[in-house]
Amino acid sequence: MPDSTPQSVLRFEHVSITFGDTVALNDVSFDLKAGGTRIIYGAAGSGKSVMLKIALGLLKPSSGRVFVFGQDTTDLKEKDLFPIRSKMGVLFQEGGLFDSMTIEDNVAYPLENAITAPDGKARIPADQISGRVREALRFVELEQTLVKFPSELSGGMRRRAGIARATVNEPPLMLYDSPTAGLDPITANMIMALIIKARDTKNTTSAIVTHRYQDGQLLANFRYNPESGRLERTEKNGDGVCARTTFMVFGEGRLVFEGTQDELDRSADPYVSKFKAVKQ
Amino acid sequence: MLDFFKGPILALQDFFFLTGRALRNIFRSPHYTDDILLQMDIIGVGSLPIVILTGGFSGAVMALQMSRALATYGATGQVGQIVAITLVRELGPVLSALLVAGRSGSGMASELGSMKVTEQIDAMRALGTDPIQKLVTPRLLATAIMLPLLTIISDLVGLAGGFLVSSITLNTTASQYWNTAYRALVWNDLAQGLLKPFVFGIVIALVGCFYGLRTSGGTQGVGLATTKAVVVASVWIFVFTFFITQIFVNQQ
């Protein structure tokens, strides 16, 4: 961690959630600081997606407390959550795009429909929306799909459009739920490159849920170079991308591991080793 | 034993929460006028062909059935009266409502159900909109407004169907048929004939949206939600028509 203590962006304190008899999250605590990148590994059903939904306030924890930007959101009412949610961008597993709307309308949705604009500012004027939407779609290289519907796009393109929608109002915190699940390796790397680009150009705090070990390696060791427009490997202990990236491993609702990349590499935990086994 | 009742009672509680929030949102901004108009078009204009067809044939069938019965008493002149009363009081509202439940109620459940299982409802909440305000309230308003209008059309077409049959089989003249039909109806009939579809519309939309938003378990869950929405809405239509009729019968 850098010397100055950055502000806490997302903090869980002893959070547990149960559905009927199943415990989906069991006493999970962590703290994500501003500017940090958190990679959350876990097998299917390990509770990592549930964790993101609790962070967004879509699910209420059975016990424990959740703090977003320092504010306790655990017992907030839905309408009081809207201003906080507008500061969080989220990419759902399948993109979560609205089937009944074109890509343009989907990306414009946060700008047009949000009850509260980010930071309580006035809503974005209608004449600026189109420009912002195009800019967000240019960012994910999908400008040509403005009038298409989500069903006309491939899985990778839907996820790129989802990233555009999540980043259109430039939220300081980005959450990604399995951004590479079910994609071929080439498309998956492209999505990861976009996530790195979004993190480095917009300087966002990010939490990425994934089951692919190499996703975390990419995030920890590469950064986006705005001059060349490409990803480049960072020097170890260099500009701090690696130091700002921390890892968590979930197993059956429990936080099995938390630490830096070096600690992850050294960890002898049998569950953590399973994830490292797929390392190239 | 208690666990057996827990599920249905919790579901009922959820249903009343949904109802409360959907009704409260009518008076709260933001108002999604575009969505209301779109739903009115889908539910109202979209159901017009089947409502006209079934309305016309139900009037014709009533006339056909009654012509034989009335002929025994030599009262075939009264066929217009009987068709008018049964259609306006009961058949028009109930048949239109059942058709709209099958067509739009199932549509709402499957559309909202698919949105639920593909995380679109979560996305909507995460992007700062209330799904009840954006999805349920427009459907509720649209159905409550359009179903009475559809019923009026269905009643009129049914009366015309009845006239067609009675003029062919019974040689009833136009003035005789329409006169008896017109005189048979009192304000009480029209009031219950319009109150019923209004209530049914609310029931159909709320039940459809309720089961849609409760969907779980992937695409299989969507099918289940759709079936439940149609069955439950249809049953409630019959329950409500009984109680509304009960109220109006006592008024006479």
> CA-nearest residue of chain A to B126?
A85
B112 located within any domain = yes
Domain match, A233 and A277 both: yes
For testing the chain A interface, which of B41, B127, B129, B219 should be mutated: the one with the most A CBs within 10 Å?
A: B127
- The residue among A46 and A75 whose pLDDT is bigger is A75
- Return the closest-CA partner of residue A26 out of A55, A47, A52, A10: A47
B21 located within any domain = no
Question: Average of pLDDT values for A70-88?
Answer: 87
> What ipTM score was computed for the predicted complex, to two decimals?
0.84
A12 located within any domain = no
Q: What confidence score (pLDDT) does residue B145 get?
A: 96
CB contact under 8 A, B127 and A110: yes
Summarize pLDDT for A18-58 with one digit per residue, the tens: 888 888 888 888 898 888 889 998 888 788 888 999 999 99
A18 located within any domain = no
Please give the tally of structural domains in chain A.
2
Summarize pLDDT for A102-142 with one digit per residue, the tens: 999 999 988 887 655 444 455 677 778 888 899 899 888 88
The H or E element spanning position B200 is: helix B187-213
- The residue among A229 and A38 whose pLDDT is bigger is A38
- Return the closest-CA partner of residue B118 out of B11, B228, B221: B221
A69 located within any domain = no
DSSP single-letter state for residue A2? -
Q: What confidence score (pLDDT) does residue A121 get?
A: 53
**Chain B from 25 to 44: CB within 8 A of any A CB:** 30
Please give the tally of structural domains in chain B.
1
In B96-171, beta strands by DSSP E: none
> CA-nearest residue of chain A to B129?
A114
Q: Which domain holds residue B168?
A: 33-251
Last residue of a domain, one of A170, A204, A230: A170
Q: Is A280 exposed, middle or buried (0-12, 13-18, 19+ CB in 10 A)?
A: exposed
- The answer on pLDDT for A280 being more than 50 is no
Task: For chain B, say whether A78 makes contact (Cβ under 8 Å).
Answer: yes
B4 located within any domain = no
Domain match, A151 and A205 both: no
Q: What confidence score (pLDDT) does residue B18 get?
A: 93
Q: Which domain holds residue A257?
A: 34-59+78-87+172-280
A156, amino acid identity: G
> CA-nearest residue of chain A to B32?
A113
Task: For chain A, say whether B120 makes contact (Cβ under 8 Å).
Answer: yes
Q: Is B118 exposed, middle or buried (0-12, 13-18, 19+ CB in 10 A)?
A: buried
Name, in order, each residue with C-beta under 8 angstroms of B251's C-beta and a sequence gap of 6 or more.
B188
